[in-house]
Structure 1
Amino acid sequence: MRYLTTPKNAYDTINATISHGINHLETARGYGQSEEFLGRAFAAGLPVPRSQLYITTKIPPTEDADTMNRYIDESLARLNVCYIDCLGIHGINTWEHLELIKNPNGCMQAVWKAIDDGRVKHIGFSTHAPLEVILATINTDFFEFVNLHYYYFFQRNAPAVELAYQKEMGVFIISPSDKGGRLYTPPPTLVKLCHPFSPLEINYRFLLSDSRITTLSVGAGNPDELIKPLQTSDSIHPLTEEEKRVFHTLADYSYQALGNSQCSQCYKCLPCPENINIPEILRLRNLTISYNMKNYGEYRYGMLENSGHWFPGMKGNRCTECGDCLPRCPENLDIPSLLQDTHTRLQGKPGRRLWG
C-alpha cells in the first residue's frame, strides 16, 4: 500500500522486490490503486513467471455472498490474473465482523465457491481486533492463515500466534518496521540500547527466530526500502546470546525508566466506560519514556478517534476520573493521571490510516 506515489514507482518497487528473491506479494482491495498497479506490472513483464509468485489480496467482509463474489472478480480483473493464491478477509476487527463470517448464507459462501472453482487457492483473514476476537476467529477453523500485529514492542497477541500455530495456520506479521515501532527512523536512545544491532534488525530477529511465524511484510514504499530488511531476512536461527542480552537490556532499561508507573499490559483495566483504549495509550507512554519513541507514540496516538474499528478507542483526555479501572489494576497505577500525562506528551496532529 506504500508504493502508490506513481505507477512507475510501483513497477520499480515490485520489480526490485521480485529481483531480490521475494516471491509473496500482498495487496488489498482497499489500498487505493495498489491492485491495479500490481496488475499493470504483470502486464509489463516481471523477472519471474506468475506461477512462481504467491499473490495475496484482501477483501473486507460483506453482508451477502453476491457482493463478495463480485469483489473477488473485480480483484482478479485489476490484478490481471486468473487466480489468487491467498485471499484474506480484510479486517475482522469486531464481534460484528465475526458474525458476518459465521453467517452460512453470507460472504463465506462466495469464498467457498471461489475455492471450488479455482479462483482462490487459500483463505485467511487479517485483523486489528482485540485478542479475544482474534482467538474466536481462529477457532472457527475456516481459515488457513492470519495477518496480525505482533512485535517485540507489542506482544499482546502471543496467544493468537500460538493458537494459529497449533492449528497449522500460516502466521503473517503486519508491518513490523512501521507499526512495530517506526524502526526505519529509530530514536538515538533505542539505537544505543540495541547496539551492535539496529532496532529494525533486532525486531526482525525477534520474529524470524520464532519458528511459529511464517512471513513478515516489508511494506516497501520504494526499492531502497527493501535493502535493510533483506539484510536480515535469512536469519531464521534461534536468538544468539548477544541478541538475548539486548532484549534483557531493553527490558531492564524500561523498568528503570518507568519505575512504579510501568503498565504491564495485562488489559485488566478494561472495559472503560468512556471507551478509552487504556492499555494501548499506556503502552505508548511506556515506549515514549523508556526509549524516547515519541515519534512513534505521536503517530499511533494520533490515530485514536480517527481510524474507526482499525484502531479503536478514545484518547486519554476523555477520562472522567470515574475510577472504574483503579481497583482492577494489579500495579495500582494512577491510571487517570497517566492517561492525562500521555495525552500531554503525545497530542500531536490527528492521524489517519494510509488508505481508507
Structure 2
Amino acid sequence: MEYRRFGRTNLSLSVFSLGTMRCLASPQIALTTIKKAIACGINHLETARGYGKSEEYLGLYLASNNAVPREQIYITTKLPPTPDKQAMAQWIDESLNRLQTDYIDCLAIHGINTQERLNWIIKPNGCLSAIQAAQTQGKIKYIGFSTHGLLELILEAIETDLFAFVNLHYYYFWQRHQPAIALAQEKDMGVFIISPADKGGRLYNPPEALQDLCQPLTPLEFNYQWLLSDRRITTLSIGASCAKELETGRWRDCGIERLGDKGNQEVSTNGICPNDLSETIEKIDRRLQKHLKDTLKSDRCSQCYQCLPCPEEINIPEVLRLRNLAVGYEMNDFGQYRYRMLENAGHWFPGQKGDRCTECGDCLPRCPEKLDIPKLLQDTHLRLNGSPRRRLWE
C-alpha cells in the first residue's frame, strides 16, 4: 500500500480509504469489512452522521479487543452545516459517543452544496465556531468539507482558508473540478476523491465497449490509476458493502500492487511493467478521446458550461455529459442511474431533466459548438429517463 501526505494535516493516509456507508447490513458485516480493509493496509476510515448506523458500527470496531491501536488509523466523519452552533456542538459529542473515541482526526462539513450552506459556516458565530471550539478542546484535529456543489462555490469555499482538506467528486469521466484540485494544492489542502467507482461511472460493472477501449486495464483500474497518477490527490474512497468486495471486483481491479511499496516487481497482474504504466494510461486516454469524437461527431458536448444559466434550470452540461457517455461508450446503465436522480435529490444533484426544455433558444448563441441543444436534451430524456432514484443513504 502506498501512503501520501494529506495536505497540511500532515497525516499519512493510504491511497485508498474505506467508506463505510454501504457496509450497514449488520454489525458483523461492518466489523469484518473494516478488519479486512485494515489488513489490506488501509488506514483511513470514513463515515458520517447521516449514514445510518455507520458511526455506531465503526465505534464497535474501535472498542473491540481486535482493533488496531487508535493512533494507527485515521477517522473522518461528516456533519451537515447548520445555522445553529449549539446543534453542531451537540452533534460533535454524539458522533464521539457513537464512535467510542476521544477524538476525530478529520471532521468534514458535509455537503457545502449551496451558498446558503456555506454562509451558515462562515458567518460570525456560525456553526464553524462550535467546530473550532471542539478543535481547541482536542475533540477534533482537522477541519475540511465535502461538496456536491458547483465549481464556483467550491472555489469560494477553498478560498476562505478555513479548511485543511476537501472531499471532492472528480474522475476521468468528469473532470469539471480540475480547477478545485489545482487551488487545493495551492492552499496545501488534502484531496479525498469520493466514489470513484460508482459516481465515477459504475465502473465495477462496465459495458463491453468500454472494457475493450480500456484494455489492457479494466475501466475501474484505469480510472484509479489515472487519478493516482496525479500526486495532488491523496486518497480515493472504496465503498465496499462487505469484506468480499475487498478481495475481488471493485478492490482487486485497481491494480493495487502497482501503486504501493512493491514497485520493484518486474511485472504486474496485467503483464505491465511499472515503468510502462504511465504510457499505458496515456494510450488509453487517447483511444477514449478519439472514440468519443468519432462516435458522437458533431453532437459531442465539450462541457464548456457556457450554455448556463438555463431559464428552466435544466442542468444542460450534466444531461449532455450523460448522453456523451451513453452514446460514446455505451454507459447506458450509469447514464440512467444518474439521470433519474435529477429532480429527486435536491441540492445534492441539482437541475431539471431534459424534457423541461421549452425550446426558448436562450442557450443556442452561447454554444461554441453550435449544438442543437433542445434536440439533444429531448434525445437524452428518451434514452435515460425511467423510474426516479434517490441517494443511497436516504
TM-score by length of 1: 0.98
Deviation at 1:232, TM superposition (A): 2.6
Q: Which range moved further: 291-300 or 44-53?
A: 44-53
One-letter amino acid matched to 2:216: P
Which of 99, 102, 108 matches 1:82?
102
Q: Which range moved further: 62-71 or 123-132?
A: 62-71
Deviation at 1:235, TM superposition (A): 3.9
Counterpart check, 1:31 vs 2:51 = yes
Which of 172, 175, 191 matches 1:171?
191
Structure-1 separation of matches of 2:343 and 2:386: 13
Counterpart check, 1:232 vs 2:244 = no
Report the identity percentage.
60
Which of 125, 130, 136 matches 1:105?
125
Match of 1:345 in 2: 383
Match of 2:157 in 1: 137
Structure-1 separation of matches of 2:99 and 2:355: 44
Q: Which range moved further: 228-237 or 126-135?
A: 228-237
Match of 1:300 in 2: 338
Contact 1:284/1:301 (8 A) holds in 2: yes
Deviation at 1:46, TM superposition (A): 3.5
1:157–1:235 Cα change, 3 Å? farther
Which of 313, 321, 337 matches 1:283?
321
Structure-2 separation of matches of 1:271 and 1:46: 54
Match of 2:114 in 1: 94
Structure 1, gaps ≥5 residues long: none
3-state SS, counterpart of residue 122 of structure 1: strand
Cα deviation, 1:259-285, whole Å, max 9, x if unaligned, reads 000000000000111110100000000
> Structure 1 stretches (4+) deviating beyond 3 angstroms?
233-239
Deviation at 1:348, TM superposition (A): 2.1
1:245-264 equivalence runs, <5 A: 245-264=283-302
Structure-1 separation of matches of 2:23 and 2:375: 41
Which of 31, 34, 54 matches 1:14?
34
3-state SS, counterpart of residue 240 of structure 1: helix
One-letter amino acid matched to 2:240: A
Contact 2:61/2:67 (8 A) holds in 1: no
Structure-2 separation of matches of 1:224 and 1:352: 26
Deviation at 1:217, TM superposition (A): 0.3
Cα deviation, 1:215-273, whole Å, max 9, x if unaligned, reads 10011111122234355335458852122111100000000010000000000000111
Structure-1 separation of matches of 2:361 and 2:115: 27
Q: How many residues align?
A: 356
Aligned-pair RMSD on alpha carbons? 1.2
One-letter amino acid matched to 1:12: T
Structure-2 separation of matches of 1:243 and 1:171: 21
3-state SS, counterpart of residue 88 of structure 1: strand
Which of 298, 311, 316 matches 2:354?
316
Higher RCO by CA contacts (8 Å cutoff, separation 6 or greater) = 2
Deviation at 1:43, TM superposition (A): 2.2
One-letter amino acid matched to 1:354: L
3-state SS, counterpart of residue 238 of structure 2: coil
Deviation at 1:47, TM superposition (A): 4.5
3-state SS, counterpart of residue 181 of structure 2: helix
Which of 48, 52, 71 matches 1:51?
71
Deviation at 1:64, TM superposition (A): 2.0
Counterpart check, 1:157 vs 2:195 = no
Deviation at 1:318, TM superposition (A): 0.7
Cα deviation, 1:37-68, whole Å, max 9, x if unaligned, reads 11112223344111101000000001021111
1:36–1:47 Cα change, 3 Å? closer
Match of 1:193 in 2: 213
Cα deviation, 1:155-184, whole Å, max 9, x if unaligned, reads 000000000011100000011000000011
